[in-house]
Amino acid sequence: MRWNGRGELVCPLRGQSLESRLAAQRSVRRAPEMNTLSLEVAVEFEDDKKVHVFCDARVDGTAVADPLRHSISLAELRESAVASGPCYLITCSCGNAGCAGIEKPVEVTHSGSTIEWNISEPAPQRHFSFEAEAYRSVIQEAMRSFPLATAKIERVTSKQASPTPRGEEEFFWGGHRAV
Ligand SMILES: [Zn+2]
C-alpha cells in the first residue's frame, strides 16, 4: 500500500488478477496441486468357477482405466516408484499393452519430491502430479495388502481368484519381491 497525492491508500497491484498478484509477491509460494493415487483389489466379474479380480487404480477417486478394456500393471507401478522412464502402467488383461491398442507408455518423471504421469493412451490425455513419498507408500501398501484382500475375496466367494493382467498373479497371491 502507498498514499497517493489525494490522501488515499492505493494498492499498487489493484486491478490485477489473483494469479499475477501472487506471482508479484515473491514470498508467496503457491502450493502445487497434487493428485492422490489409490490402489485396491476389486472384483471385475464372477463366473461359475472363478472370481475375476483386478487392481482398481484411481487418481482423485477417478478410475485410471476401464477394467473391461484395460488392466493396471503392478509390476510397472512398482518400477514407476523407483525411477523416471516410460511405464506401461495401463496394459491388456493378457499383459501385452499393444494388444489393448496402447502403443505409448505412460511417461513417468521423478523430479525432486514429485512423481508425475503423462498419459496419452488411452485417451484422454492426462497429467498427474503425486507427492513422491505418498506415492511410494500407496504402492508399498498395495503390495502388502493385495494378497490379504485376494484371500478374503476367495474366502467370501468360495471361488478361486483369477487376477489380471496375466503374469502378475504374484502381486495378488503374495511372494513378490518388495518395493
Ligand atoms: Zn491382450
Q: 75 in a domain, yes or no?
A: yes
Q: Please give the pLDDT value at position 3.
A: 56
Span from the CA of 170 to the centroid of ligand 1 (angstroms): 19
pLDDT along the chain (179 residues), means of 10: 58 54 57 89 94 97 94 96 97 95 97 97 96 97 95 95 94 72
From start to end of 14-172, where are the E strands?
37-46, 50-59, 62-63, 71-72, 85-87, 90-91, 106-111, 114-119, 126-131, 160-163
Q: Which of 48, 46, 53 is nearest to 173 (CA)?
A: 53
* Overall domain count for the chain: 2
Span from the CA of 54 to the centroid of ligand 1 (angstroms): 14
Span from the CA of 40 to the centroid of ligand 1 (angstroms): 22
Same domain for 135 and 79: yes
Q: 102 in a domain, yes or no?
A: yes
Cβ-proximal residues to 74 (8 Å cutoff; 6+ apart), any chain: 55, 142, 143, 146, 168, 171
pTM of the full structure = 0.79
Q: Please give the pLDDT value at position 174.
A: 82
Same domain for 82 and 164: yes
Ligand 1 ion: residues within 5 Å (CB): 92, 94, 99
Q: 178 in a domain, yes or no?
A: no
Q: 78 in a domain, yes or no?
A: yes
- Burial (CB < 10 A; 0-12, 13-18, 19+), residue 150, is buried
Q: 179 in a domain, yes or no?
A: no
